[in-house]
């Protein structure tokens, strides 16, 4: 009798869990994705492997961020890129090159250029707003990705100045990470595909560990971005987010 009672509880619990998940609105799913990425500050050490037509190369960097508006990145490896730095303040971006000892503002058409020859553009680097602030979401179905049940959301930009006019994302129903994403131009042309290949648990949140970026307009096998270490809500000095820090 006790076994039957326990079984009934488990079944009912499963039904309640399933129904609560399925009843989530598209906007709420998008907000859950955003919540995974939000932090007052963070420090990260990363590795980016670019698989191009002429072979592969790896770039190592470290980054500091405060909120959604301030990010400072310093490249550490390879030697030819060591000392290159980028500073983002709100919607402005500067880059320092030690080879020329110059600080250049990245703006206009330059934002669409590749970062360090990767499949990421400067526009991708500049993205920081919450998805639910930039896009309207519609839940259009479900499909498993790598054996994990996912919602499928169709996102449509609310403004013309958003980097991608629309997106299609596959969201892990339990961890609320976009395991796959397709990004489109206004014309409907596919521009970029991203896939989260590995995740990690940090305190009470899930976070990407390894991501594949593929520019759909380029040949090659894409760019693999790996977060080696990341720390949230740490002290970051104000000086780090100044143009003086670029030198």
pLDDT at 213: 97
pLDDT at 37: 87
3-state secondary structure of 196: strand
Q: pLDDT tens across 180-213, in order?
A: 999 999 999 999 999 999 999 998 889 999 999 9
Distance CA 194, CA 203 (A): 25
Mean pLDDT by 10 residues, the chain (247 residues): 36 36 83 90 97 91 94 97 96 95 95 94 86 94 96 96 95 97 97 97 93 93 96 95 95
Distance CA 46, CA 120 (A): 14
pLDDT at 68: 85
Token reading at 227: 């977060």
If we measure between CA atoms, which residue out of 103, 108, 74, 114 comes closest to residue 91? 108
Is 38-246 a domain of CATH 2.50.20.10? yes
pLDDT at 4: 37
Question: Counting every residue, how long is the chain?
Answer: 247
Distance CA 143, CA 145 (A): 7
Rg (the chain; Cα; Å): 20
Could you tell me which residues are beta bridge partners of residue 196? 211
Distance CA 155, CA 131 (A): 9
Helices (H) and strands (E) in the chain, counts: 4, 13
Give the domain ranges of the chain: 38-246
pLDDT at 22: 52
């Amino acid at each position: 009798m006790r076994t039957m009672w326990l079984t009934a509880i488990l079944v009912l619990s499963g039904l309640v869990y399933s129904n609560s998940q399925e009843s989530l609105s598209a906007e709420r799913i998008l907000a859950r994705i955003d919540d995974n990425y939000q932090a007052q500050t963070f420090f990260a050490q990363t590795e980016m492997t670019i698989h191009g037509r002429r072979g592969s190369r790896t770039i190592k960097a470290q980054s500091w961020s405060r909120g959604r508006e301030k990010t400072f990145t310093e490249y550490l490896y390879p030697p030819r890129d060591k000392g290159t730095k980028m500073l983002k303040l709100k919607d402005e971006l500067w880059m320092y090159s030690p080879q020329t000892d110059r600080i250049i503002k990245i703006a206009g058409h330059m934002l669409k250029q590749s970062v360090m020859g990767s499949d990421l553009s400067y526009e991708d680097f500049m993205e920081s707003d919450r998805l639910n602030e930039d896009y309207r979401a519609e839940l259009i179905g479900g499909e498993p990705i790598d054996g994990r049940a996912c919602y499928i959301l169709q996102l449509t930009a609310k403004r013309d100045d958003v980097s991608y006019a629309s997106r299609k994302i596959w969201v892990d129903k339990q961890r609320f990470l976009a395991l796959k994403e397709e990004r489109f131009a206004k014309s409907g042309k596919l521009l970029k595909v991203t896939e989260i290949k590995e995740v990690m648990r940090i305190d009470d949140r899930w976070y990407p560990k390894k991501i594949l970026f593929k520019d759909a307009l380029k040949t090659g096998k894409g760019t693999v971005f790996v977060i080696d270490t990341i720390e949230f809500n740490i002290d970051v000095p104000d000086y780090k987010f100044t143009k003086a820090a670029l030198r």
